[in-house]
Every structure is written in structure tokens, then in C-alpha cells.
Amino acid sequence: MAPFRFRLEQVRLYRKQLEEQAMQRLALAVMERNRLLIRKEATEKELYGQRQRLCRPDLLEPAEFPVTLDYAGALARDLKDCVKALDAAEDQVDIRRRQLAEKAMERELLDRLEKKQADRHKLTELKQEQQRNDETATLRYRHAAV
């Protein structure tokens, strides 16, 4: 039997490589989103603490009040910027996830084609082997009958 050789193997390998690259881009996007999420949570926590300090004037010296108020305002702006960046990062994660799914489907298409061709090759080889066996049996039968 001749060994099966998939003619599109190089294309399949290339598509697998593209899928792996898409997977890496998704991982980077997820890491960036997680980094921004941690930053957002830390900023929220710090802002909450500063607002608590502002609500309790007995904890602040009179000179600290304007500085704390400015700091809380800066934290609020940082939080707003962080939320925008986090939304953009979420969009990137969604885009990268769709790209990965597309690349995986392209590779899987070739995987299925390879399997079909391998099955077809195996069936053809089995039919040829059966035909050779039938011919051999027929020749033996004729030889024995003579």
C-alpha cells in the first residue's frame, strides 16, 4: 500500500501557525484587560478611601482638605480614563476572540479535508487489495480446476 500524503499539508501547517498567532494575540489582549481591571479596582478603592476621609472632617487637618479634595478629583479622572481604556480592551478581547475562532475554523476545515482524503485513500487501497485477492483466488481456482 502506498502511504497517504496530504497535498495541502503545508497550507494546513500555515493555518495552524496563524491560529497559534491569533491565540497569542488573544492572550495579550486578555492580559491587558486584566491589568486595566486591576488598575480600575485599585483606583476605585483609593477613591473610596479618599472620599471617606473627606466625609469625616474630624480626621483631616484644615490644610489637608484641599489637597485631599484635589487628589480625589484626580483619582476620579483617572478612574474615568481607566474605564474608557477597559472598554477598549474588552472590545479588543472580543475582536481577538472572533479572529481566533475564524482561524480555528479555517484550520479545522483542512483537518476535515485531510481526514476525508485519508479515509478515501484507505478505502481505495482496501478495494485494490480486495481486487488483487479476488484475482489471485480466481487464478488458483482455475489452476486447480484444470
pTM of whole model > 0.85?
A: no
Structure-block grid coordinates of residue 32? 491587558
Residue 145 confidence class, pLDDT cut points 50, 70, 90: low
- Distance, CA of 99 to CA of 42 (rounded, Å): 31
21 with 106: CB under 8 angstroms?
A: no
Beta carbons within 10 angstroms of residue 62's beta carbon: 7
Q: Which three cell numbers stand for residue 23?
A: 491565540
Radius of gyration in angstroms for the set of CA atoms belonging to the chain, rounded to a whole number: 34
DSSP conformational letter for 63: T
Domains in the chain: boundaries = 9-111
Q: What is the mean pLDDT of the chain?
A: 92
CATH number for region 9-111 = 1.20.58
118-143 pLDDT per residue, tens? 999 999 999 999 998 888 888 877 76
